[in-house]
Amino acid sequence: MQKISLMTPWLAGALVRQASLMTGPEIRALQRERLLILLDYARQHSPYLREKYLELPDYPELSDIPITLREEAMPCLDRWVCDSEITGPGLDSYLSRLDETSVSSPFLGRYRVLTTSGTTGVPLRMIRDDRHNLVHAALISQRLLGSGKTEGNPVPALPYPRTAGVISRGGFSSTYLSFLRTKKAYEAAGRGGEILPLFVEMATDEMVEALNDFQPRFLIGYPSNIRILAGRQRLGKLDISPDLITCSAEHLSLEDIHYIEESFGCPVLNNYCSTEGGEVACLCRENHMHLNSDWVIVEPVDRAMQPLAPGQESDGILLTNLANLVQPFIRYYVSDRIVMHEEACACGSPFPYIDIEGRKEDKLSFQDKGGAWIELPSALFIAISLDTPNCGQVQFVQRGPSRMEIRCIPEDGEGHEQLCRNLFDITKDRLTREGLGDLELTTSPERPILGKSGKMLNTLRLMDGERANVPFDKKES
């Protein structure tokens, strides 16, 4: 079996380039080899996985490996990781001190740490090693920024393009921490004035004014925010000329891609990234999301965790991150819904592509007191949840043209009434900034509404005469 090499930026880039020239069968063979390396390392260094895989043969098939669920793995984090110096209290202490000035200081001098938002479940603490970071940086450079959509585009070749990013402030999400690290790199190079963070809690008009003043060449952000900005561009309120736009973290439909590209006159890129898997898939020139299957394994499954054939919509996926050795994610269940495609893509990529269905939040639009409809970005509601203390889960349910209901669960299981009051106040403030101060806002004692798969949408549209997104049902449980 191939030994684990010390990863360097040059080697990571070379490995990514090499796989892009392979055939499908060669990529699957490489994937298998890397899976066995990861499995062997996990058995040697992770007490939790050593016990879990005790009955496995030395060279198991992927389907032989037991599935890992977040609720079973997170309580034993100290035994899951492959470095005995990593402890839960140590992580908590590090995260409590992490801010914009210390974001470039790695945990234990060698790891990056991030968490999921927790808006649809218990937050996951994730540790990434240099192997993961360098490989996934190469995937972004070559398969996202270096895709066929950017041929001849000036932005990927610029070391410090004039960049504006629409991000969610606070928390320890990958998007937020990555932008802060990029900002620190700009500042270290004396280019701090060339990068502008815009936070999703800003009023849209305030964001438009800042962008008009800044005039970015590179715009990045959540699709829901970028689409609303595209609408302002069409109305003439926003007047910028970016060379390139990159979206991530939310569902980006083909309709949205065309709308944004026509509005700004530049290409739109998209990557499907996750806390557990890193850069899972990147958009090609044909607007298909190709899996980075040389470094990430994605298995579509139904509700019973059984495999699904290509062309079928899954209820979730089993995800294996082949790059991260410090916290092995092997057949780890994620509730994202996808459709796998095996047919060849016209772009010529040897990697299979997927349709991503599971990140579709319902889009909420409300009427203001003058009768005009105002669409709100999904990221705005994520920011509200992050800004509210003790918020474990929250769901914003549209009940009418000017009526919204908030359902929530406290993180510690207590203080529901106080959490409702805090969410009400923060939400009311954000709505007022968007010109929706008169919207009828209520809080509910009921738990969030779950779909048939048990997944919770952060934003849910349940107006009379309308249906929520399939496969979401309308039972209020």
DSSP 113-172: EEE---TTSSPPEEEE-HHHHHHHHHHIIIIITTSGGGTT-SGGG-SS--EEEEE--SS-
Does domain 9-135+273-356 fall under CATH 3.40.50.12780? My reply is: yes
pLDDT for the residue numbered 452: 52
Q: Please check whether residue 463 is in contact with residue 400, taking contact to mean a CB–CB distance below 8 angstroms.
A: yes
Closest of 160, 167, 158, 340 to residue 246, by C-alpha? 167
What's the half-sphere exposure (Cβ side, CA atoms, 13 Å) at 426?
Answer: 22
Residues of the chain with pLDDT under 50: 1, 119-120, 453-454, 465-477
pLDDT for the residue numbered 3: 58
Closest of 270, 226, 222 to residue 250, by C-alpha? 222
Dump pLDDT digits (tens) for 89-124: 999 899 888 877 788 889 999 999 988 755 445 567
Does domain 364-461 fall under CATH 3.30.300? My reply is: yes
**What CA–CA distance (Å, rounded) separates 147 from 246?**
12
- Provide the whole-model pTM: 0.81
**What CA–CA distance (Å, rounded) separates 201 from 430?**
7
> Which pairing describes strands 125-128 and 440-443: parallel, antiparallel, or unpaired?
unpaired
Cα dihedral 274/276/279/282 (nearest 10) = -50
**What CA–CA distance (Å, rounded) separates 210 from 239?**
11
| Phi, psi of 281, deg, nearest 5 | -155, 155
Dump pLDDT digits (tens) for 403-443: 999 999 887 678 899 999 999 999 999 999 999 999 999 99
DSSP state of 192: G
pLDDT for the residue numbered 275: 87
Query: Reduced to 3 states, what is the DSSP secondary structure of residue 85?
Result: coil
Whole-Å CA distances, 263 to 200, 228, 234, 281, 412 = 20, 11, 6, 25, 44
Residues of the chain with CATH 3.40.50.12780: 9-135+273-356
What's the half-sphere exposure (Cβ side, CA atoms, 13 Å) at 116?
Answer: 18
- Amino acid letter for position 77: L
**What CA–CA distance (Å, rounded) separates 419 from 322?**
39
In CATH, what number does 154-266 get? 3.40.50.980
Residues of the chain with CATH 3.40.50.980: 154-266
Closest of 80, 455, 53 to residue 276, by C-alpha? 80
Partnered with residue 365 across adjacent β-strands are 375
Q: Please check whether residue 119 is in contact with residue 393, taking contact to mean a CB–CB distance below 8 angstroms.
A: yes
Q: Return left, alpha or beta for 215; rule: phi > 0 is left, psi -120 to 50 is alpha, else beta.
A: left
pLDDT for the residue numbered 468: 40
Residues of the chain with CATH 3.30.300: 364-461
Partnered with residue 260 across adjacent β-strands are none
What's the half-sphere exposure (Cβ side, CA atoms, 13 Å) at 88?
Answer: 9
Question: What does the block give as tokens for 327?
Answer: 């916290």
